[in-house]
Amino acid sequence: MWRHIASNAVTFLMVGLFLLGGVIIWGKSEYTAEGPLKQAICVQVERGSNMRKVSRNLAEQGAVSSGAIFRMGADYEKKTANLKAGSFLVQPGTSMSEIVDVVTKGGASTCGTEVVYRIGINRISVQVRELDPATNRFVERAEFTPGADDVPALYTEMKAKSDTRFRIALAEGVTSWQVVEGLKGMDVLDGSVAEVPAEGSLAPDSYEVRPGDERAGVVAQMQAAQETLLAAAWESRAPDLPIGSAEDLLILASIVEKETGVAEERRQVSAVFVNRLNQGMRLQTDPTVIYGITKGEGILGRGLRRSELRKETPWNTYVINGLPPTPIANPGRESLMAAAQPDETDYIFFVADGTGGHAFAVTLDEHNANVAKWRKIEAERGAEAAGNASTGGN
């Protein structure tokens, strides 16, 4: 009898172990299999949260088939203690194993709300944006100008949240003075900038910052980035370039940056100035005249006067020979490369063509014809604007 009971017990134990092994194999398969999520979601992990809360949130949103398997898998991989606070984008079909990686690896949040401080040529603004997981696009929820507009309550609310991202977006062609003024208005930053950095020394780009970061540290990051870009452009420069130093290349790139907003034209514009330098012609470019007036402190806000075109300043390339003594703005990567590798053309003239771009010419006669076309366009636009004003815009 006892032998029979013992035999049954062994049988039950073996069956139990077999079933347990099957459950473990099934659990592992579920943990690494494609997940049930049909549409991307943003998973928020609050500071001080735990894996149980996260698994419940994921289960409620249909991202995992079993919260228990999710937690056991994280425990088995010894990742539970690595849970990071933030907002994380989870794509359709993401497995539980991959979601665990997403919420434990750390780094910047990949979705949720971000605050973007935009330093532009004509305006400094703050945008509060939120990622729509379904489209993977940011939706603007609030925008204001620091010091000029009322601060939206949403900005104050989002600024206090631990998972909000903060970025500085520096436009190509801004001046160093504009950058410093923009940084002053960013209330998430601390400290001050002792002096305006050298013109052209800051790389236009997007910079992630955290509340409490030092303004001087952000400037140093921008300077280091520009040094890297300039070194790469100088290293790759055309062999016959009439430029004697990396600093001169930076000056030329800044002029190219201010002369055109059309990316495809940069190398052509650069070619015009290089050809002029090779022929001993003055550059005769309006942005340098404007910089001589403003010193980069804000925008001129009007057209140039004839007297200003004739007035001698260190930057007025209608009066001086060669390049001005300093850059006139902070050029981006593409303008640096355009200055280093201009197109091979015979162009020595260009003028606006009415489309936002320019008409290029080799001879003065061709250029004069292009100028006449542009003057006609200006006159037609002026007449149209006057007509709209007299009829109330209807």
DSSP conformational letter for 198: P
Instruction: Tell me the torsion sign for CA atoms 236, 242, 246, 247.
Output: negative
Rounded CA separation 378/136 (Å): 41
Flag whether pLDDT at 338 surpasses 50.
yes
How high does pLDDT run on average in the chain?
84
Position 345 scores a pLDDT of: 93
Is residue 113 a contact partner of residue 158, using CB atoms and an 8 Å limit? yes
Domain with residues 31-111, CATH architecture: 2-Layer Sandwich (3.30)
- β-pair partners for 359: 351
Name the residue among 72, 63, 71, 67 with its Cα closest to residue 95.
63
Flag whether pLDDT at 72 surpasses 70.
yes
Q: How many C-beta atoms lie closer than 10 Å to residue 356's C-beta?
A: 10
276-324 tens-digit pLDDT: 999 999 999 999 999 999 999 988 888 889 998 999 899 999 999 999 9
Rounded CA separation 100/110 (Å): 15
97-106 tens-digit pLDDT: 887 777 788 6
pLDDT confidence tier of residue 191, bands split at 50, 70 and 90 = very high
Position 390 scores a pLDDT of: 52
261-281 tens-digit pLDDT: 888 899 999 999 999 999 999
Q: What is the DSSP string of 104-115?
A: HS-SS-SSSEEE
97-106, 327-336, 354-363: segment of lowest average pLDDT: 97-106
Position 20 scores a pLDDT of: 47
Answer with the residue of higher pLDDT: 201 or 143.
201
Name the residue among 278, 262, 246 with its Cα closest to residue 346.
278
Rounded CA separation 168/235 (Å): 29
Flag whether pLDDT at 6 surpasses 50.
no
Rounded CA separation 234/326 (Å): 17
167: left (phi over 0), alpha (psi -120 to 50) or beta: beta
The model carries a pTM of 0.77
Is residue 322 a contact partner of residue 277, using CB atoms and an 8 Å limit? yes
18-42 tens-digit pLDDT: 544 455 565 577 677 777 878 777 7
Position 256 scores a pLDDT of: 96
Question: Could you state, in order of their start, the residue ranges of all structural domains in the chain?
Answer: 31-111, 113-230, 237-379
Convert 14-39 to b/e letters by CB count within 10 Å (16 or more is b). Answer: eeeeeeeeeeeeebeebbeeebebee
Rounded CA separation 24/31 (Å): 10
